[in-house]
Every structure is written in C-alpha cells, then in structure tokens.
Homo-oligomer: A and B are copies of this chain.
C-alpha cells in the first residue's frame, strides 16, 4: 500500500496545488493592481457581477467556499471605495443585498479586458481535454472534502 503509485502522485499534486495557489493569487493581484483591486476583491466582484440580481454576503461566501466574515471584510472595504453598495433586501429584514455601483461595473469590465486574454494566453498550449479532466478532478476533490 505504501508503494501505491497514486499515493505519491496525489501528494505531489497537493503540494503543487499549494504552490500554484500562491502563484495564482499573485497573478490576480498583478492583473487587478492597475484597477485598484486585489485578488480577494477580484474574486468577490466576480461573484457579484455573475449574479445578475443582488446577493447577500453569506451567499457570496458560499459560492467561494469561504467564511462570511472574510467576505464581509472585503465588501466593507469595497463599499467604502464606492465599488458596490448595500441594498435593502425585500425578502429579509437584516440581510442586505450587495450590488455593483456604476463604478463597480466599469471596474469589472476593465477587469474582464485583462482577465480574458490572460486566460486564453495561459491555455494556448493546453489541449481542451486536459483542462476538462483537470477541472473534473478538482471538482471531485472539492466534493469529497466539502462536507
């Protein structure tokens, strides 16, 4: 069992994922930098923009798989920066909805203009099949761990 080829393969993969994560955060910071954002805010603004209607802070946290406190801190800063605003939630008295302001919409558009070419550029030499297999594997692992 100790000689299982999968064992070492998986542990190598995990260590590599830790490293890749750090590099991806750095990439996000680099791309978002010129727009006055950071990678954490990049993640949050992406979720809000994709949800066409308003979303709550814990809702964003669930999508990202993070704690609501972590997201709340980000949104508070972005609200102070005028990128988003809190809106009354007709369905819930205390839990407000988060929406992009016009300024936030503009920033998101500018972000896409950097992010999309980045994504295409970094997959130029990668076959679609490999991307699909990797994504499928990552999602399977997420399901295994997310309980």
Binding site for B on A (CB under 8 A): 1-2, 4-7, 9-24, 26-27, 43, 46, 64-66, 115-117, 119-120, 122-123, 125-126, 128, 130-142, 144-146
Contact of A18 among B15, B24, B117, B128 (CB under 8 A): B24
How far apart sit A136 and B22, CA to CA, in the bound complex (Å)? 18
- Whether the pair B130, A6 counts as a contact (CB closer than 8 A) is no
How far apart sit A14 and B83, CA to CA, in the bound complex (Å)? 23
Contact of A66 among B17, B22, B123 (CB under 8 A): B22
Instruction: Tell me the minimal C-beta distance from A59 to chain B in angstroms.
Output: 15
- Whether the pair B10, A123 counts as a contact (CB closer than 8 A) is yes
Q: Given A18-B43, A133-B134, A138-B13, verify A123-B6 contact (CB < 8 Å).
A: yes
A66 cross-chain contacts in B, Cβ below 8 A: 22
- Whether the pair A6, B134 counts as a contact (CB closer than 8 A) is no
- Whether the pair B11, A119 counts as a contact (CB closer than 8 A) is yes
How far apart sit A11 and B7, CA to CA, in the bound complex (Å)? 28
- Whether the pair B6, A131 counts as a contact (CB closer than 8 A) is yes
How far apart sit A145 and B19, CA to CA, in the bound complex (Å)? 10
- Whether the pair A20, B138 counts as a contact (CB closer than 8 A) is yes
A16 cross-chain contacts in B, Cβ below 8 A: 135, 138-139, 142
Q: Given A116-B2, A122-B144, A145-B27, verify A131-B13 contact (CB < 8 Å).
A: yes
